[in-house]
Amino acid sequence: MITGKEILNKFGFEVKEEPLSIYPFSPVYHVKYGEYGVVVKRTQSRANSVIAYTTMLKDNGVNVVTPVELSVDNPQKCEDANFVVYPFIEGIGYSAKENEIFKVGKLLGQIHSLSPTYNTYDLYEYDVYDFNQQEVEESMDAIVQHAEKAEVEIDRRLKPKLLESVANQEELYHVGLPHVATPHDYKANNLVLTPEPYLIDPDNATWIPRIFDLALALLLFHNEHNKAPDRIFTKQEWKLFLSGYKTHISLTKNEILYWGKAKQHVFLDEVMWLMAEYEEDWKNPSQRNLFTSLIPVLIDDDYTLD
């Protein structure tokens, strides 16, 4: 397996000791390039597609990182993974102030508004419509076990809602929801405020139903961020985020009609596995509080697109 030192050397950064990642969940290295700081991080296999897409966003006024010009290729393939060098963006972290929430909603709306009508950048296309009942059963067993150890009671209505989401997949796939090119994974720990929001991790760029991306922002915007509240947006905060988003986007009648089912599907896809796979998160009070705040959002319909 390639080391961080070997990755940095491949880009021309001479380091003598193994570097430490500044991100606990994947290799991200902060190093000096001349007078400036840069970040070396992993990107997806369709790296050139991501770069073409993010360059378009930047050319249209979006605050988003794009690769630094180097004397060697950027990005580069390192064994079985692609790595890219981005500028290190100085700024402050998100802390859920009202003006910040409005601004981050507005930035997502700006990004969505710039999407082409078709997947012209050849981004990965979202195609996860194949969950089954057994996966829900197994995940719920794990969630209940983790919750019991953490002395948390799981609402009994969660499992029926997840099974309902399994039944809705075919309908969501065929209903013809508008798709967008988007960085996806739009959440607080992928942004810094300069003081305007600046997207520092666009590497999950995907072609996906627009309201799926919006639902992901609702559910996991505060995930694993030490300055964000240990909960989902409040209903008032969600309205504020939407008001920023809608300065650029007018949602369709179909999107409003299928929002509840889309929200359930994204929970099934993105949240269920987080709650089931990572027992250590249930031991972390902040993450545990976020999980418990997410469940009512799936069960009730208070978080609308109005």
279 lies in the same domain as 233? yes
Report strand pairing: 179-182 vs 124-125: unpaired
In angstroms, the CA 73 to CA 62 distance is: 24
H runs (alpha helix) in the chain: 4-10, 47-59, 98-113, 133-149, 158-174, 210-220, 235-245, 253-257, 259-266, 272-277, 279-283, 285-299
The predicted structure's pLDDT at residue 293: 95
Tell me, yes or no, whether 166 lies in a domain: yes
- Structural domain containing residue 48: 4-87
119 has pLDDT over 80: yes
80 has pLDDT over 90: no
> Domain end: 87, 115, 138, which one?
87
- The arithmetic mean of pLDDT across residues 200-207, rounded, is 97
Best CA proximity match to 264, nearest among 132, 137, 163 = 163
Tell me, yes or no, whether 209 lies in a domain: yes
45 lies in the same domain as 104? no
Neighbour tally for 282: CB within 10 Å: 21
Please state, rounded to an integer, the average pLDDT across all residues of the chain: 94
Q: Which residue has the tokens 């709650």?
A: 275
10 lies in the same domain as 117? no
- In this prediction the pTM is 0.95
Best CA proximity match to 11, nearest among 64, 79, 83 = 83
83 has pLDDT over 90: yes
In angstroms, the CA 234 to CA 241 distance is: 10
**CATH number, domain containing residue 147:** 3.90.1200.10
**Cis peptide bond prior to 178, omega within 30° of 0:** no
Tell me, yes or no, whether 21 lies in a domain: yes
- The arithmetic mean of pLDDT across residues 183-206, rounded, is 96
| Digit-coded pLDDT (tens) for 29-44 | 999 998 899 999 999 9
Tell me, yes or no, whether 275 lies in a domain: yes
135 lies in the same domain as 193? yes
Q: Report the b/e string of 180-205 with b at 16+ CB within 10 A.
A: bbbbbbbbbbbbbbeeebbbbbbbbb
> Domain end: 87, 108, 132, which one?
87
Tell me, yes or no, whether 92 lies in a domain: no
211 lies in the same domain as 251? yes
214 lies in the same domain as 180? yes
State the first-to-last Cα distance of the chain, in angstroms, to the nearest integer.
49
List the Cα angle 42/45/51 in 5-degree steps.
75
| Digit-coded pLDDT (tens) for 98-107 | 999 999 999 9
127 lies in the same domain as 78? no
In angstroms, the CA 249 to CA 251 distance is: 6
Tell me, yes or no, whether 306 lies in a domain: no
**CATH number, domain containing residue 12:** 3.30.200
Beta carbons of 118 and 125 less than 8 angstroms apart: no
102 lies in the same domain as 210? yes
For the CA atoms of 65, 27, 227, 269, the dihedral, rounded to the nearest 10 degrees, stands at 90
Cα Rg of the chain (Å, integer): 20
Beta carbons of 217 and 108 less than 8 angstroms apart: yes
81 lies in the same domain as 121? no
Tokens standing for residue 144: 């209940």
Beta carbons of 281 and 220 less than 8 angstroms apart: no
44 lies in the same domain as 116? no
In angstroms, the CA 181 to CA 115 distance is: 5
Best CA proximity match to 58, nearest among 118, 21, 128, 111 = 111
274 lies in the same domain as 139? yes
**Percent over 90 (pLDDT), the chain:** 85
- The arithmetic mean of pLDDT across residues 107-131, rounded, is 97
Residue 162 pLDDT grade (very low, low, confident, very high; cuts 50, 70, 90): very high
Distances (CA, A) of 146 to 128, 161, 209, 232: 26, 19, 32, 20
The predicted structure's pLDDT at residue 178: 98
Tell me, yes or no, whether 93 lies in a domain: no
> How many domains is the chain partitioned into structurally?
2
- The arithmetic mean of pLDDT across residues 281-288, rounded, is 93
195 lies in the same domain as 224? yes
> Domain end: 68, 87, 106, which one?
87
Tell me, yes or no, whether 245 lies in a domain: yes
**Percent over 70 (pLDDT), the chain:** 100
